[in-house]
Amino acid sequence: MEKTKVTLIYWGLSLFVFLALMPWIFNLKLALDSIQALCIYGGIVVAFLGGTIWGWSEDSVSAKDLWLAIGFSLLGLGVSLATFADLSSSLILLIISLQAFLYFEKNNSSYFKANIKYANARNLITNLVTICCITSLAFLHNPYS
């Protein structure tokens, strides 16, 4: 099961990388659409990650954790909705959301603590997606485009 989880994590990364590279290759309209898609996809991922807390073993999850799960899901919705107002704010909120969830998972998930390969993959992927967001921010604030 761990191998499947790690494989799917990397497949999920591929869409982030593709959407982050598109602005640097294609025209401005497609660039802005790809950044918006990256933010919406990222919001969906954050909401999904929040929902996974409900599946953690009962001995490692508290009522507070379940409330935080709802908070992360709503934060994911917020990231997605923010794309329609301001892409930069949405990207920054996505970075904060992903890093916050990783911190939460490191400190509260018994699965994360027990499975080093999964933990390493989650760390790497979260940081690579953060780089994708920073790359998209760089495109948005590039004075030469």
Domain residues of the chain, as ranges? 2-140
Q: Per-residue pLDDT tens for 82-134?
A: 999 999 999 999 999 999 999 999 998 888 888 899 899 999 999 999 999 99
Return the number of other C-beta atoms located less than 10 Å from residue 69's C-beta: 22
Q: What's the pTM value of the predicted model, to 2 decimals?
A: 0.90
Residue 145 pLDDT = 63
- Compute the distance between CA of residue 76 and CA of residue 8 in angstroms, rounded to an integer: 19
Q: Per-residue pLDDT tens for 3-44?
A: 787 788 888 889 999 999 999 999 889 999 999 999 999 999
Q: What's 62's DSSP letter?
A: -
Contacts 24+ apart (CB under 8 A), 33-36: 35/87, 35/91, 35/136, 35/139, 35/140, 36/83, 36/84, 36/87
